[in-house]
Amino acid sequence: MNHDWDDLVGVIESARIESKKGKAVVRFGTSPRAEEIWQDVKNRIRKHVSIGYIVHEMVLEKDEDGTRTYRVTDWEPFEQSFVTVPADPTVGVGRSLDNQKTLNQLRDMGIIIPTGAADNHPEIEIRSESTMKTKTLRDASGRLVRAKVDENDVIVEIIEVLEESNGERQAGIEAEQNRVRDILDLFEQYGSRGVDPNQFIRDKSKTASDYQRALLDAAANPQGNKGGKRNVTPTAADSPDIGLSDSEIRNYSFLNVLRYLSNPTNEKYRQAAAFELEASAAAEGKLQREAQGIIVPNDVLRSAAPIAKSGSGANLIATEHLAGSFIDMLYNKSSVMQYATTLTGLVGDLSIPTQEGGATGYWLGEDADATLSEITFGERTLQNRTCAALVEMTRKMIMQSSNDVEMLARGDIAKALALTIDKAALYGTGGDQPLGLAGITGVNPVNLVGTHPNYQEFIEMETSIAADNADVGSMLYMMNAVGRGHCKSTQKFANTNGSPIWEAGNTVNGYGTHISNQINNGDYWFGVWSELLIGLWGGLDLTVDPYTHSSKGRLRIVAFQDADVAVRHPQSFCLGRKAA
C-alpha cells in the first residue's frame, strides 16, 4: 500500500500490456488488512494504482548545458501499489516515488530511477559510463543479476545477484497464475451464479474445472442463485424455459455443442462449450429428464437468433440481422406444420376438449316441458413421444466459426426433424410414434377410380367435408409433385379441350395447394389443416456419433425432439386414393 513494502496485502499473479494499457490479475491475502483493502476495492473506494519498475537499459538522447535526456528502451515493473493520490490519475499508473524509505531501498538495490521520479528527487543521479553500462539481466546459470556489460552486452562484472535461479519455483508461479486467470475468465464470462470465485482462488487445491462444475451445479439449481452477474428472466413454474437473457441466447452456439460432443475429452472444446454445458444442465433440472447428449434449452429454440454478419475480412462487424428461431425453421421446412396448429413449450401431457355433438332445440306448445339434452364433449390428448432425426456433417464444417455455418447447421437439424414430424402427422402408425391422419377413424375417404383423381373427384373431396359441417376454416389440397403434374396435364372435363384441373394462382377447385414429396404417390389430401394439432415439448437433445463414418471425416448427429400429433375433428379432412 502506498509503495510501503512492509504493508503487503496481496500478490500479482499475472500482468500484461493490452492496447497500450497495463493490466494485472492480483490475489489478495487473507489477513484482516487484506480483507479491508479488498472490500474498499470492491466498493470502488480505492481505485488508483501506482507501478514501481526497474529500468534495464536507456539511451542518452541529448546532453545540453549539463542536462541529459534519456530514452528508456528496456524496463520491467516490480511492484504495484494502491495509492491515495496517484501521480497521473488519468492513466492510473504513478511514476513518482512517495517516500524516502522506498528511495533508499531502491538505491541500495542499485535500481535506476525513471526520469519523472528523478525530477521529483534531485538527489538521485542517473550515472552512465562511456565504456561500459550497467544492466539487469540473467547470467549463464540463470541468475538475475545487476552487472556491468560491454558494448555487446557481455557481462564484465557482476555487481549484485538479485535472484537465484529456480526453474521449479518459476514453473509453479506460472501454473498458479494460469489457474487464477482461468477462474477469473469463467467469472467474467458467466458471472458468479452465487458461487464466489475468491473462495476457489484462495484455495490452491481448487482448479478452474472445479469452479466450472460449481457454476453448472448452481445453474441446475436456480433457487440457490443468490447473486451473480446475469439478470435471469423469471419463468413460470410450468414453463420449460430456464431464464436465459437475450445476450445469452445470442451467444448460444450449436457448433460449440457439436464440437464438444464429437470429442468430450478435448479440454479446448469443453471450455468453448462451457456456457452451453451449463445451460444444458439447467434444462435437465427444469425438464426433469436426463439428456442423452446435450439439451438445447427451450429459450434458444423459441427465440429469434440475432446473428452478426461477417464483412469482407475475418472480423465480425457490429451490424446484426434477425434469423428465425429454431421452431420457425421447423415451420418453414415442414409441409404440415406450416398450416397446422402448433403448440410449443409443453410440459407433461396435454388434454384438449372437443365438442362431439351439439345441443338439440325444440318447439314447445303452451305449458309443455322442454326435453333436456346435453352437449357431448370428448378430448384429444397430446403426450410426449420422442422423434429422432439423423443428420451428417463433416468435421471441417463444425470446426468453422462462421455465423452462416451456424445457421446452416441449425437449418439441417430443423429440416431433418421437420420431415420426420411431417411423415408421422400424415402416416404415423401409433404406438411409439403418433397416429397419423391416414389411420384416424373419421377422416372422410374418397375412393378414386384411377391412380389420380379427375376433376369431379376433387369436388367430391370438398363435398364430403362440407356434408359433415366440418368446413369451418381455410381449406387446402396437399399432393406430391407427381400429383401436380397430373393436375396440370389433365382437363377438367375430358374431350373438351378446356382448362386443366390446375388453375391460376396454383389452385385446384378454387382452393390453394401445397406440394410435398412426403406425401405418398397417389394420395391426395384436403382439409382444414388448422384442426391438426402438433405438440412440441421443450428442449432439443443432441448427440454425436464420431465413429461410424470416421474414415470419411463425417459426424452423424442425432437430434431428439419430444413431439406428438392429434386431430380435433377428423371430419375436417379427406383422403382421396385409389381403392385397394
Confidence at 96, pLDDT banded by 50, 70, 90 = very low
- The sign of the dihedral angle between the CA atoms of 173, 175, 177, 180 is negative
Boundary of a domain, candidates 85, 100, 124? 124
Q: What are the angstrom distances between the C-alpha of 153 and each of 100, 133, 145, 147, 171? A: 32, 9, 13, 10, 27
For residue 516, give the CATH number of its domain. 3.30.2320.10
Residue-wise DSSP of 114-176: PHHHHHH-TT------SS-EEEEEE-TTS-EEEEEE-TT--EEEEEEEEE---HHHHHHHHHH
Are 538 and 298 in contact by the 8 Å Cβ rule? The answer is: yes
**Three cell numbers, residue 278:** 451449463
Sheet holding 507-508, edge to edge: 444-448, 573-578, 524-527, 476-479, 511-515, 507-508, 502-503
Note whether residue 201 is domain-resident. no
Note whether residue 191 is domain-resident. no
Note whether residue 84 is domain-resident. yes
Q: Which three-class secondary structure state does DSSP give residue 242? A: coil
Boundary of a domain, candidates 124, 146, 162? 124
H or E element that contains 489: helix 481-489
Note whether residue 385 is domain-resident. yes
Report pLDDT for 213: 72
Tally of domains within the chain: 2
Note whether residue 535 is domain-resident. yes
Note whether residue 50 is domain-resident. yes
Q: For residue 317, give the amino acid letter.
A: I
Report pLDDT for 237: 39
Could you tell me which residue, 82 or 123, shows the higher pLDDT? 82
* Mean pLDDT (whole number) for 285-312: 69
Strand segments, DSSP code E, in 326-384 are 341-346, 350-357, 376-382
Q: Please state the φ and ψ torsions of residue 469, each to the nearest 5 degrees.
A: 55, 30
Are 112 and 129 in contact by the 8 Å Cβ rule? The answer is: no
Report pLDDT for 494: 81
Which pLDDT tens digit goes with each residue over 549-560?
877 888 888 889
Report pLDDT for 365: 66
- In the chain, pLDDT over 70 holds for what percent of residues? 72
Flag whether pLDDT at 221 surpasses 70.
Answer: no
What residues have CB less than 8 Å from 571, skipping those under 6 apart?
442, 443, 444, 465, 468, 469, 470
Which pLDDT tens digit goes with each residue over 532-578?
999 888 788 889 888 888 778 888 888 898 899 999 889 999 999 99
* Mean pLDDT (whole number) for 425-438: 93
H or E element that contains 526: strand 524-527
Report pLDDT for 158: 86
CA geometry: angle 68, 73, 77, nearest 5 deg = 110
Note whether residue 162 is domain-resident. no
Report pLDDT for 501: 95
Boundary of a domain, candidates 67, 97, 124? 124
Flag whether pLDDT at 322 surpasses 70.
Answer: no
pTM recorded for the entire structure: 0.52
CB atoms within 10 A of CB 326: 23
Note whether residue 42 is domain-resident. yes
Are 36 and 1 in contact by the 8 Å Cβ rule? The answer is: no
Q: How far apart are the first and last CA of the chain?
A: 93
Average pLDDT, the chain: 76
Q: For residue 69, give the amino acid letter.
A: T
Confidence at 181, pLDDT banded by 50, 70, 90 = confident
Report pLDDT for 358: 52
Owning domain of residue 26: 10-124
Nearest to 539 by CA among 327, 234, 307: 327
Q: H helices within 311-402, ranges in order? A: 326-333, 395-398
Q: Please state the φ and ψ torsions of residue 62, each to the nearest 5 degrees.
A: -145, 150
Report pLDDT for 29: 82
Which pLDDT tens digit goes with each residue over 261-293?
998 889 999 999 999 998 888 888 888 878 888
Report pLDDT for 180: 84
Are 381 and 430 in contact by the 8 Å Cβ rule? The answer is: no
* Mean pLDDT (whole number) for 72-91: 69
SS3 readout for 262-301:
HCCCCHHHHHHCHHHHHHHHHHHHHHCCCCCCEEECHHHH
